[in-house]
């Protein structure tokens, strides 16, 4: 919250700000942890999947995680394939273009990215990321300025 206040104050030095709108987003951490949850387990409807995709688009910069292509359809992709014990937690999900998703198939990411150790290391580090940022946004979104 203090970060928002600081930036508004900085911007006001550069130009007159007469109105301010805050977009009070809310991350659906339950859906991020388990996108496949449904029915009685999860009763908030179809918005949950949309929020997961939106979260992944932000996290992975609106590009294919494997070839950096932008402006193409991106599919939700399991970094560690489900067939190899990978979970559907947000930390195991990324976005891939159709050709990359098809090419990777159910390969282990270490095999698929053996030719690109830098990208492999980055992607594996992302699988360690927690929901901390989303939790912070949720916790502060309704606090008054
Ligand atoms: Zn790609």
* Cα distance between the two ends of the chain: 7
For the chain, give the mean pLDDT.
81
Distance between CA 29 and CA 120 in Å, rounded?
Answer: 26
More confident residue, 107 or 139: 107
CA of 115 from ligand 1 middle (Å) equals 15
pLDDT confidence band for 48 (50 / 70 / 90): low
CA distances from 38 to 49, 70, 112, 141 (A): 10, 31, 31, 26
Distance between CA 114 and CA 95 in Å, rounded?
Answer: 19
CB 26 within 8 A of CB 44: no
Full-model pTM: 0.58
CA of 21 from ligand 1 middle (Å) equals 36
CA distances from 23 to 66, 89, 90, 113 (A): 31, 26, 23, 38
More confident residue, 101 or 38: 101
CA of 104 from ligand 1 middle (Å) equals 10
**pLDDT tens for residues 68-78?**
999 999 999 99
pLDDT at residue 7 greater than cutoff 60 = yes
pLDDT at 35: 63
Distance between CA 9 and CA 36 in Å, rounded?
Answer: 42
pLDDT confidence band for 61 (50 / 70 / 90): very high
CA of 67 from ligand 1 middle (Å) equals 4
**pLDDT tens for residues 126-138?**
887 656 666 666 6
CB 94 within 8 A of CB 61: no
Q: How many residues does the chain have?
A: 145
């Amino acid at each position: 919250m203090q970060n928002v206040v600081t930036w508004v104050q900085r911007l006001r030095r550069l130009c007159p700000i007469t109105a301010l709108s805050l977009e009070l987003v809310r991350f659906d951490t339950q859906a991020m942890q388990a996108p496949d949850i449904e029915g009685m387990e999860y009763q908030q409807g179809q918005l949950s999947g949309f929020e997961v995709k939106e979260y992944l688009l932000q996290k992975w910069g609106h590009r294919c995680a494997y070839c950096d292509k932008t402006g193409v359809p991106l599919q939700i992709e399991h970094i560690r394939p489900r067939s190899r014990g990978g979970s559907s937690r947000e930390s195991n999900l990324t976005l891939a273009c159709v050709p990359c998703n098809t090419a990777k198939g159910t390969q282990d990411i270490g095999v698929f990215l053996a030719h690109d150790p830098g990208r492999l290391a980055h992607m594996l580090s992302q699988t360690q990321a927690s929901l901390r940022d989303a939790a912070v946004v949720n916790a502060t979104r309704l606090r008054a300025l």
